[in-house]
Every structure is written in structure tokens, then in C-alpha cells.
Amino acid sequence: MDLREWAQRIDCLMAKDVIVFEIWAPFAYFRKMETTTTSLTFSFMPRSAAEGLIGAILGLDFNESPEKLKDSRIAIKLKNPVEKSPFSSTYTDTKEVWSRLGDIIHSNERPAPKPRRPVAFRTRVKTELLRNPYYRIYFDDTDEMKESLQQKLQKHETVFTPYLGSSSMIANFEYIGQYDYQTSRRNTPVQVASIIPFFNIMPKIQLEKGVTFAVEQNMPIHLTSERISVGTYSAVYNPFGAQLKVSDVATQEIHSKEEKEHVIFIPTEIPPKEVT
């Protein structure tokens, strides 16, 4: 047995602890980066948004959050079914609108017939919103970071206002607890409560009657202070929030007072062999 295998075995045996809390809001919006005129949302919170949320609770500045939380171990569980609603909004070009309005008002020419299209300095954008998003978040980091987060959650305090994707979608939260966990890898299928991240090869999902699954692609792992995406991953999930049975995958076995559940931490970086 080499040193790497021995370290992995020790890691599996060592018990660690994770901070667990839940967060929800009437609406959420996690914009897909590749969308333009029609702004679509991811089906659930990506890791980058979870980092920003935890940073807001802790009081980390937007410029320091990506660096301080880049190695945090984070898992996300859907508590409500995924439900999307279309929404339209109108944007005004504030840089040119006043000068152009002045030209129209002071013009001596007869007003032109009303155009069929909207005025040039206004743009109508179609947007998707998530309705009643509700997540359970599992967080592990240094003892100092976890203690600070735990104190904030228990007192229901934040430094900055927490929201889900957009500053107008203010969220509420609740502290659930601090539980021991350990890494587990079994040959038999196991029920996974969280979303299941992956890169190129999708995990082996055991099909069950009445249980469906979907795949979300190109989700950002991190966002820099300049809002540039660093790495992407895909994830398998149940749209109704139910658990999925997966085989041949390493999970984190969490031991709470009520039950034992398995989750999978979202990767913090792309494996070297996956980089193109």
C-alpha cells in the first residue's frame, strides 16, 4: 500500500464535523452565463452562489470571498421541487435616455407615427425565476470558519443581507446543527440526499419506479471578484427533491440525531485529467 492509498484510508476512518443550515426565499435567480437576450436560470443553487451566500453571512467582502472559501467543502440538498416561472422586465439605457428624450421634446418636426417596435433605448428581456427555492447546505472548513458561521446562524444574524442569486430576492435561513461525518465508499448502491456533481462521466444511477432524475450542466465552481467563472461541473438531481440511489461513488456519511444520510461535496477544482 503506497502513501496515497494509506492517506485515503485514514481520511475515510477519521470523523469530521459539518455545519448544516437551511435557506429559502419566495424566488431565486441563478443566471446561466451563456444566455443573453433570454436569461435562463440554473435549476438550483450552484457552488459559486453558495460561497457568496456564506460569505455574506460571515461578512466577507465580495473581493475576499472567492479566495477564503475556495477550498470549503460544500454540499447542497433540494428541499422543494424545482419550479420555474417566466418573467419579463424592461431595461432602460440610462446613459442615453435623457439626451435622446431632450432631442424628441425640442424637435420642431411633426411627430413621427408611433412605431410598432419599442423605443430604441428600452429593451424587454425575458427571464426565468425559481419559485419557492428551499435548500439544505452542508459546510466544512477550518474550525475558526465553522465556529464563526455557527455563531451567526444560531443567533440568526448576518453581516450582509443574504439573498438567492439576485439582491431583490432576500432569503431567510435556519440553523439545523453540527454533525459528525466520514467519507464512505461502498460497492452496493446508496441513497444520496444531495445533488450529485460530476465532470465527464455521469455517476451510475439505479433506476427506481416513480423516481426521476435530471442533469444540469456547466455550473460554475467559483466566481472571481471580477465575476469570471473558474471551472464548471455538471450535476445529477431529482427535480422533486427526493434521494437518488447511486453506486460506485464516494459519499460523506453524516450522523445526525434523527437519521443518517449521505451527501457529496461539490468539487473545488477540475481534476487535472479533465482539463482540456
Task: Reply yes or no on whether the pLDDT at 275 is more than 50.
Answer: no
What is the residue range of 29's domain? 14-87+125-274
Q: What domain count does the chain have?
A: 1
In a domain, 100, yes or no: no
88-92, 145-149, 179-183, 268-272: which has the minimum mean pLDDT? Answer: 88-92
Q: Which residue has the cell 472567492?
A: 66
The whole-number pLDDT of residue 30 equals 94
Cα–Cα distance, 83 to 69 (Å, whole number): 29
The whole-number pLDDT of residue 42 equals 94
Segment 190-199 mean pLDDT:
95
Task: Reply yes or no on whether the pLDDT at 13 is more than 50.
Answer: no
In a domain, 195, yes or no: yes
Q: How many CB atoms lie within 10 A of CB 243?
A: 16
Question: Residue 33 belongs to a domain with what CATH number?
Answer: 3.30.70.2660
In a domain, 107, yes or no: no
Task: Reply yes or no on whether the pLDDT at 217 is more than 60.
Answer: yes
Classify the C-alpha dihedral 271-221-52-262 as positive or negative: negative
Task: Reply yes or no on whether the pLDDT at 218 is more than 50.
Answer: yes
In a domain, 99, yes or no: no
Question: What pTM value is reported for the model?
Answer: 0.82
Q: How many CB atoms lie within 10 A of CB 275?
A: 9
Per the CB < 8 A criterion, the answer to whether 121 and 97 are in contact is yes
Find the helix packing angle between 47-58 and 143-154, rounded to 10°. 70
27-41, 48-62, 204-218: which has the minimum mean pLDDT? Answer: 27-41
Q: What is the pLDDT of residues 226-258, one digit of tens each?
A: 778 888 999 999 999 999 999 888 999 998 777
Task: Reply yes or no on whether the pLDDT at 111 is more than 60.
Answer: no
Q: What is the pLDDT of residues 46-98, one digit of tens each?
A: 999 999 999 999 999 877 888 899 999 999 999 999 999 988 777 666 666 56
In a domain, 255, yes or no: yes
Cα–Cα distance, 275 to 221 (Å, whole number): 14
The whole-number pLDDT of residue 276 equals 40
Q: What is the pLDDT of residues 119-172, one digit of tens each?
A: 556 677 788 899 999 999 999 999 999 999 999 999 999 999 999 998 899 999
Segment 180-198 mean pLDDT:
91
In a domain, 96, yes or no: no
Task: Reply yes or no on whether the pLDDT at 102 is more than 70.
Answer: no
